[in-house]
A = this chain, B = another copy of it.
Amino acid sequence: MNSVVILANGDFPKHPTPLRILKEAASIICCDGAVNYLNEYGLKPSQIIGDMDSISKELKIKYEGRLIHIEEQNENDLRKALKWAENNGAKKAIILGATGKRDDHSLANIFTLLEFPSQLKMTIFTDHGKFSVVKGDQKFASFTGEQVSLFSVDQTIEITTTYLKYNLNSKKLTTLYFGSLNESINDIFTISISHGEILVYQVFK
């Protein structure tokens, strides 16, 4: 299990990109009630992780052998799933269904990518674009006109970019909105950061 797809319990994907990821996934870990939507869509979960308070009775019986019941007051079902995947050998997690519905859940899920202590390479695909984590120096596949936003919680991180419309040169992001609304001007762009991790968001074509 090198790469896993985790379906969180926000809005079920509508956009072709996350739907394709879901359909092509070798294994899908569902966060609790998300399995209701997956089942309706005609796909099967490999595991269902959570405190099982929102999965239907019928599906509890149908997927009895795939239920992994984890009670942990401080963690939501997404972080339980990420921890379980890492403990079971995953190196990479693609997260779907992380946004929509409750805004506090969406925020907590997005910043889990950045702030949850894990060795997993994590990305979130929503119906509008994808969030990924930047460490050190990275090159991103892009296209001219691609809308790009950077988010840093740690205001001490210095960021340098190339091939963006508004490039940063050893610049710190002093607010969470300051790095938003940028744009790619090439088929790649690069981001180098002094230390730590930041989020990059790329809007789908």
Which A residues have a C-beta under 8 Å from some C-beta of B? 73-74, 76, 79, 99, 101-112, 114-116, 126, 128-129, 131, 147, 149, 151, 153, 166, 175-178, 180-181, 201, 203
CB contact between A176 and one of B103, B107, B166, B178 (< 8 Å): that residue: B107
Inter-subunit contact A102/B203 (CB<8 Å): yes
Closest chain-B Cβ to A35's Cβ sits at a distance in Å of 20
A180-B105 CB under 8 A given contacts A73-B166, A175-B115: yes
Give the interface SS of chain A, mostly helix, strand, loop or mixed: mixed
Q: How far is the CB of A201 from chain B (nearest CB, A)?
A: 4
Taken together as a complex, chains A and B put the C-alpha atoms of A36 and B147 apart, in Å, by 23
Distance between Cα atoms of A203 and B104 in the complex (Å) = 9
Given A107-B176, A176-B107, A177-B76, verify A128-B115 contact (CB < 8 Å): no
Are A111 and B177 also in contact (CB < 8 A) when A102-B128, A126-B103, A128-B101 are? yes
Interchain CB contact under 8 A, B151 and A107: yes
- For this complex, 19 residue pairs linking A to B, each with C-beta atoms less than 8 Å apart, are A76-B177, A76-B181, A99-B103, A102-B129, A102-B147, A103-B110, A103-B128, A103-B129, A103-B201, A107-B149, A107-B177, A107-B180, A108-B180, A108-B181, A109-B177, A111-B176, A114-B176, A115-B175, A153-B153
